Amino acid sequence: MIIAQTPLRVSFFGGGTDFPEFFSQYGGAVLGTAIDKYIYHSVTAFPSRLFDYSIRLAYRKVECVARLEDVEHGPFREVLRYLNIARDVEISLAADLPASTGLGSSSSFTVGLINALMAFQGKFISQSDLAAAAIHIERNILRETVGCQDQVLAAFGGLNVVRFISDTEFTVYRIALPKVRLDELTQSLLMFYTGTTRSACDVEKRKLANLCNVQCQLKRMLCLVDEAHNILTGNQDLSAFGVLLDRTWREKRMLAANVSNSAIDAMYDTALAAGALGGKVLGAGGGGFLLLFVPQERQAAVRHALKDFYEVPFSLSARGSGVVHS
């Protein structure tokens, strides 16, 4: 049995500039981190001649099929096809947090599945090739409306600035913070579930359709990546990072009408009134998790103000996708 563990991610700055439709003209970069919440794939070989199926997949439902073409789950099917695996395999999926909540779970799924199946075949794949393969499968085979940051952060792990050159060419700059600084950042961040999920592709399609009208916002959001990096690695008080999150959220809300809604706006305003310095809805927007930067002395007040929303504790700079059992 092979078990692969792949992290989910939190994107702080630059989201939206990781689409080739934008960065091929203007450049793109994100500042984000893998977190200690994971997706797990377990892969087992079995003698299909003894069964009436050749592939078994277990996720929210169970699929037992005789032919690869009969697999309903698109990402499962196309990753298996991409790696030329058509029989004698059983794959199970488990996750720490639900999908469609802004944590990059769909790309973590693809990255983790590729990694697990490569190990299943006795092959090694580098982090760069792993991320590039996931981007190719999601964008070019599955035709999903996704950017390129989630796959990179899932494959590499860590706290990084990622700069994009093309679909398959990117540079990962690891942000090496002293433990005290990293702990302070971690302890200043709170994450609450808004209570709704959404289709990231639907939100992103609206943004891309409006790309010609939001280039100025995306360019300003891109500039915030370097500004945020300078705050983290310099001597400036980390509260400036929280204020910058508020700036990027206000820019992000202008990208498309469905990035936010009245319920999310009310939740965010409540958090600010209780002491949060800034924050953003993670991922494409429209639902999922709300990230907040809150000085520790104000966190009790913010938690009380958002007592009706479920909080998920997390840590930053988790390791990238890896095989944890073989």
Residue 270 is part of a domain; what is its CATH number?
3.30.70.890
**7 in Cβ contact with 34 (< 8 Å):** yes
Domain count, the chain: 2
Provide CB contacts within 8 A for 113, sequence distance 6+.
4, 41, 75, 76, 79, 91
Closest to 1 in 3D by CA, of 115, 91, 111, 93: 91
Examine the domain organization and report whether 6 and 154 are in the same domain. yes
pLDDT of residue 203: 64
User: 310 in a domain, yes or no?
Assistant: no
Domain range for residue 248?
179-305
Lookup: tokens for 200: 């990231």
Is residue 314 situated within a structural domain?
Answer: no
| Residue 62 contacts residue 72 (beta carbons within 8 Å) | no
Shared domain for 43 and 91, answered yes or no, is yes
Q: What CATH number did the domain enclosing 6 receive?
A: 3.30.230.10
Same domain, 16 and 46: yes
In a 13 Å sphere around the CA of 229, the CA atoms on its Cβ side amount to: 20
69 and 156 share a domain? Answer: yes
Out of 147, 176, 205, a domain closes at 176
Spatial distance between the Cα atoms of 151 and 130, rounded to a whole number of angstroms: 8
pLDDT of residue 255: 86
Can you give the pLDDT at residue 34? Answer: 97
Whether 322 is in a domain gets the answer no
Q: Give the end of a domain, one of 113, 148, 176.
A: 176
171 lies in some domain:
yes
Q: What is the pLDDT of residue 326?
A: 87
Do residue 139 and residue 17 come from a single domain?
A: yes
In a domain, 320, yes or no: no
In a domain, 45, yes or no: yes
- 172 with 183, same domain: the answer is no
What is the chain's pLDDT, residue by residue, as a tens digit (326 residues)? 999 999 999 999 999 999 998 999 999 999 999 999 999 999 999 999 999 999 999 999 999 999 999 999 999 999 999 999 999 999 999 999 998 888 999 999 999 999 999 999 999 999 999 999 999 999 999 999 899 999 999 999 999 999 998 777 899 999 999 999 999 999 999 999 998 876 666 667 766 777 777 888 999 999 999 999 999 999 999 999 999 999 999 999 988 878 889 999 999 999 999 999 999 999 878 889 999 999 999 999 999 999 999 999 999 989 999 999 98
Query: Are residue 24 and residue 113 in the same domain, yes or no?
Result: yes
- Identify the pLDDT of residue 199: 63
CA–CA dist 190, 293 (Å, integer): 6
